Amino acid sequence: MLGLAQSALAAEKSSVTTTASKAEYTPAKDLKQKYDVIIVGAGGAGMSAALAAKQKGLKPVILEKMPTAGGNTLKASSGMNASETKVEKANGVKDSNQQFYEETLKGGHYKNDKALLHYMVNHSASAIDWLDSMGMKLDKLTISGGMSVKRTHRPHDGSAVGQYLATGLLRNVQEKKIPLIVNADVTKITEKGNKVSGVKVVLNQDKTKTVKAKAVIVTTGGFGASKAMIKKYRPDLAKYVTTNAAGSTGDGIKMIRKLGGYTVDMKQIQIHPTVYQKPAYLIGEATRGEGGILVNKAGDRFTNELDTRDKVSAAINSQSGKMAYVVFDAGVKARSAAIDQYEKKGFTKKATTIAALAEKINVPAAELQKTLTTWNQDVTAKKDGQFGRTTGMEHQLNQGPYYAIPIAPGIHYTMGGVKVNTKTQVLKKSGKAISGLYAAGEVIGGLHGYNRIGGNSVADIIIFGRQAGNQAAAYVK
């Protein structure tokens, strides 16, 4: 964005540590005047759309306003939800699309767009296979809040899913010679004769170019990093930190509105319960899904840690200091590679005994010891006597060293966005599609209802990104 603070850009540059940041991008001078389809935004949805369009024989281009590809996808850590997959079958997990659908609907307070949700659920297993076909193997399973079975698919090496997918998608984009131009800020989607005709793009905050295309796919993400939009729709959240990439400023929503597209659920902004506050950094659900617990300043558990995000956030906000600690052991760390990252960044407190850990985080040692003893007994009994937790209870917390990360809620995701149908066509209020215009990922609204389940955003970007590429190809041809 031209108005984006240079410091935010610099911070974004330095925070992206994947191979994405070292990637060779297409030079701006090689941008042609015409393509079959233009994809605006190089996150997971955008790169998925480009790859699907290319597989259908189109000539796509990806334009990304930030200095690196990846967007908010780079921030995803837990996994990708999918049902009836070969991975579940191999792991003996009994699951069904219907169960996935019903649990997501319940998690979204029954406000989800049912057609979009059915599409996502029914195409989730084939999306896992599609990623697999391009060398991205999500063959480990964990569980996220609001789900009853292990359907959160994670990378084979246990690493954070977002960086793994962003790197894998980028590798495929480059292998298939799809041009991807960074520092390319799309400021307008153009129209001719009631059809989308291309975009206006500012290259390197300098030259403005008009690029033509028969179709445009908008995958610009949400608006979780726009203080102005957060303040407009949810003034009560204005002071919260955000986990969002600096580029998530709602540009796509604004451009689509100018073409007559309309938005839904704009007030539905998700607070993630476990965010390290300074710097704002997401502590993923997998830390709890693999057995971690939450304790308050008194050293006590106070909620079912794997309830839905809105409920866990509310529980943390009702504790002293509106904060808590994620407490886990060496076993959890071994099962969730993302924790290595938290350690490297200096977020974790570590000690050989529970008493020593209590001293480091300034909670009563006897109380923390009692909490862990009770928890471990509940794990053995497979029954959480205090809060009725039923998932992420396969392992006791009894392997030193022990760890704690201080957390509090932060802005994580915007459920609201532009209205699309299951073909990812952008709709006007009348229900009529805007010819040649498609959207996928966090820029769309309605899919997640009033609360998103962890692991569903990654499913969303891959499934609907792929669908947008396929549908744009059908339209162009």
Active-site amino acid positions: 309
Strand partners, 215: 37
Q: Quick one: which of 242, 204, 188, 209 has its CA closest to 65?
A: 204
The answer for residues whose C-beta is within 8 angstroms of residue 295's C-beta and 6 or more apart is 301, 302, 324, 325, 327, 363, 368, 371, 404
Q: What is the DSSP letter of 416?
A: -
- Cα–Cα distance, 81 to 100 (Å, whole number): 9
Which DSSP string do the residues of 102-119 spell out, in sequence order?
HHHHHHTTT-S-HHHHHH
**Percent helix, strand and coil across the chain, each rounded to 5?**
40, 20, 40
The answer for residues whose C-beta is within 8 angstroms of residue 59's C-beta and 6 or more apart is 35, 36, 37
- Cα–Cα distance, 255 to 190 (Å, whole number): 10
Tokens of 337: 């590679």
As a whole number of Å, the end-to-end CA separation of the chain is: 32
- Cα–Cα distance, 119 to 125 (Å, whole number): 11
Distances (CA, A) of 7 to 14, 69, 279: 11, 18, 14
Which DSSP string do the residues of 55-74 spell out, in sequence order?
HTT--EEEE-SSSSSBGGGG
Q: What is the CA radius of gyration of the chain?
A: 22
Q: Quick one: which of 382, 451, 467 has its CA closest to 414?
A: 451
